[in-house]
Structure 1
Amino acid sequence: MQLIGMMDSPFVRRVAVSMAVLGIPFEHRPVSVFRHFDEFREINPVVKAPTFIDDDGTQLIDSTLILDYLEQRAAPPARLMPQEPAARRNALHLIGFALAACEKTVQIAYEQSVRPQDKRHAPWLERGVADAVRAGTWLCGDRLMQPDITAAVAWRFTQHISPGEFGSSRYPALAALSERAEALPAFVGAPLE
């Protein structure tokens, strides 16, 4: 199995961390959609990260689709999504907010790095991320699951792109969740580059 893309993408990183937690071995190919555009286009003509290639040649793009595919390969007790309908709805709700935060942070990064200062839309840059995290244990019970992985990856990415914009004092539960998660081997093994 191959995971293609850079770990500075929260979408690539959430798949890498999830695969490590699930115990699924894979080869990480750090190919950039920007610096290695032609090489990436040879792998995937859409040039979208993450790109996942299974041993049988199955190619998937989009972290959510890749993770759904991998969930179905995992034994039910090891899965990272709750199976009970109400718990699953809650998990999807939390993941949706974390993914929206990732997308907004990517857009902020583009806004700050690509658009000239006099053309930036200030109200867009001032939008924040809600702290939907409860203090204490993991979000969906007593073990790390997909909502935790996605929220922790989103928080770390946001801190990397916009340091100081969304401080730990403003979102203490989210910061604490991320700190707990980032100390785990699966996160340490997939560092934000």
Structure 2
Amino acid sequence: MRLIGMLDSPYVRRVAVSLKCLRLPFIHEPVSVFSHFDAFAGINPVVKAPTLVLDDGTTLMDSSLILEHLERLAPPEHRLMPADLADHARVQRLTGLALAACEKTVQIVYEHELRPIEKRHQPWIDRVHGQLLAAYRQLDAEIGSGRAWLVGTQITQADICAAVAWRFTQSMLADQVRRDGHWALTRLSERMEALPEFASTPAE
């Protein structure tokens, strides 16, 4: 399989780390949706990262949909979604909070880096910023100490997504979302970033 996209995208990194945890072989192709637009369009005309090209040439996009398919390919002992219904709901809950934080971080970054100053709408920016803080406040409160797996006795998608999201926000908006008051997320991030699957997949 071929994973297309840059690892500075939390969505691409999330899939790359997950592929390693799932023990599924793949090739990473660091093609940018910005500086390599035409090359990316040649692989996926929608130009959406991440894009995963399966062995039969089928092209998948959207990190959550990609990971849903990959769960079906992985050996049961390496899957990142628990079979127990209550544990599954818990993983989905924490993953949803982390993805919401990712989305709001991306919106703020794009607003400041891509939109001209005179076209920015401050009330909307303030609203997104509030949503970002709310997502991390809730996530930090719900993940316990950050010193153990978030659900069950092994790594799940909740651990991966929360750690990837926090690292991304800290790399882009550390002045707006401070480590102070988010100690569980900070501890979780430090633990996860030390894992081989994370360390070999650095956020560019």
TM interval, short-chain normalised: over 0.9
Query: What is the CA distance between 1:28 and its match in structure 2?
Result: 0.3
Bigger mean CA deviation after superposition, 134-143 or 6-15: 134-143
Conserved? CA contact 2:108–2:129, under 8 Å: no
Secondary structure (helix, strand or coil) at the match of 2:179 reads coil
1:156 aligned onto 2:167: yes
- Where do 1:133-152 residues align within 5 Å? 133-135=143-145, 136-152=147-163
Secondary structure (helix, strand or coil) at the match of 1:35 reads coil
- Give me the TM-score of the superposition, normalised by structure 2: 0.90
CA distance in 2, matches of 1:113, 1:120: 14
CA distance in 2, matches of 1:120, 1:112: 11
Detail structure 1 runs of 4+ shifted over 6 Å in the superposition.
none
Q: Percent identity?
A: 53
Query: What is the CA distance between 1:114 and its match in structure 2?
Result: 2.0
Q: Deviations over 1:117-143 (max 9, x none)?
A: 453415135321322321131111222
Structure 1 segments unaligned to the other structure (5+ residues): none
Conserved? CA contact 1:31–1:39, under 8 Å: yes
CA distance in 2, matches of 1:160, 1:169: 15
CA distance in 2, matches of 1:143, 1:85: 16
Give the structure 2 partner of residue 29 of structure 1: 29
1:176 aligned onto 2:187: yes
Secondary structure (helix, strand or coil) at the match of 1:71 reads helix
Q: Deviations over 1:73-113 (max 9, x none)?
A: 11222110111011101111111111111110000101111
- Give me the TM-score of the superposition, normalised by structure 1: 0.95
Structure 2 segments unaligned to the other structure (5+ residues): none
Count of aligned positions: 193
CA distance in 2, matches of 1:46, 1:117: 28
Whichever structure has more helix as a proportion of its residues is: 2
